[in-house]
Amino acid sequence: MTARTGCSGAVLMGAALMLGASAQAKSSKAADAEVTVEVQKSLDSKRFSDVHVAVKGGIVNLTGTVDLYATKEDAEHKIHHKSGVIAVHNMLEVHSGGGAGEVSDVELRSKLAEKLTYVRVGYGTTAFNSFTIGVQNGVVTLGGVAYGPTDKDAAVSLVAHYPGVKDVVDDMEVAPESPNDDRIRVAAARAIYGFPPLQRYAIDPAKPIRITVVSGNITLTGVVDREGDKDTAGIRANGVPGAFKVTNDLQVASDIGASR
């Protein structure tokens, strides 16, 4: 009698576990279905028309294609904090050339470099940003030093919204806040751009002579017309009161052309 009772109890317990597991599975599927609906609502835009959504266990998988890298990022940002979303696997691919055909790395770098020279024009910080750019298989790596966080964000946003960019690697530094460095920046800009033989470089709002200052150390980057201009800019920077060291990394246009 006891054995039969024990056997019946085990059978009942097993059945209860199976029912519980089945109910849990149904509940999980229902939750995933709700998350799917909410995610699709968030991505209900022409920009995301080729984006496919799959949800399992609260994990959202995004597949398909978009025209811009910025759109790929935006898709994830729109759904990341939705209720029920545990994680997002963003596997979206960016069209090469934004649907306008394949863009070579050389061409993409050239166009982006030109655009970056004008970042923050009109805000008074253009001459104090020194960006570097590399492109490999559509992946853009940004380096150099930005005057401030806003300048850095502006550079990243510009690249992310440019057709043909498949990914962005942000290796840029932001110069630390320093009233003394700011004083040196302004003094160096006046010494260089205010000197008659160099004043023509101030005509272009992109200001090809870039002045980076970190902890009192000045670095000059950019391109000038002749060797004499490079030397003059270095001498003028060395005369700025309070500057500890000047690194003159200016390039001469004729030397760049000869090296290609």
Is residue 3 situated within a structural domain? no
Global confidence as pTM? 0.78
Regarding whether 158 and 225 lie in a shared domain, the answer is no
Number of domains in the chain: 3
Is residue 5 situated within a structural domain? no
Tens digits of residue pLDDT in 74-133: 999 998 888 888 899 999 999 865 444 577 899 999 999 999 988 888 888 889 999 999
Is residue 149 situated within a structural domain? yes
Of the residues 174, 190, 212, the one at which a domain ends? 174
What single-letter DSSP state applies at residue 56? E
Query: What's the N-to-C CA distance of the chain in angstroms?
Result: 96
Region for 64 from its dihedrals, namely left if φ exceeds 0, alpha if ψ lies in -120 to 50, beta otherwise: left
Of the residues 94, 119, 152, the one at which a domain ends? 94
Distances (CA, A) of 219 to 49, 91, 154, 201: 46, 40, 22, 17
Q: Residue 31's pLDDT is what?
A: 82
Is residue 2 situated within a structural domain? no
The CATH number that applies at residue 165 is: 3.30.1340.30
Is residue 1 situated within a structural domain? no
Q: pLDDT band for position 21 (50/70/90)?
A: very low
Residue 154 near residue 117, CB atoms below 8 Å: no
Tens digits of residue pLDDT in 153-195: 999 999 999 999 999 999 999 999 999 999 999 999 999 999 9
- Domain hosting residue 135, numbered range: 105-174
Q: Residue 206's pLDDT is what?
A: 75
Regarding whether 117 and 46 lie in a shared domain, the answer is no
Q: Give the Cα separation of 13 and 212 in Å (integer).
A: 73
Mean pLDDT for 216-230 is 95
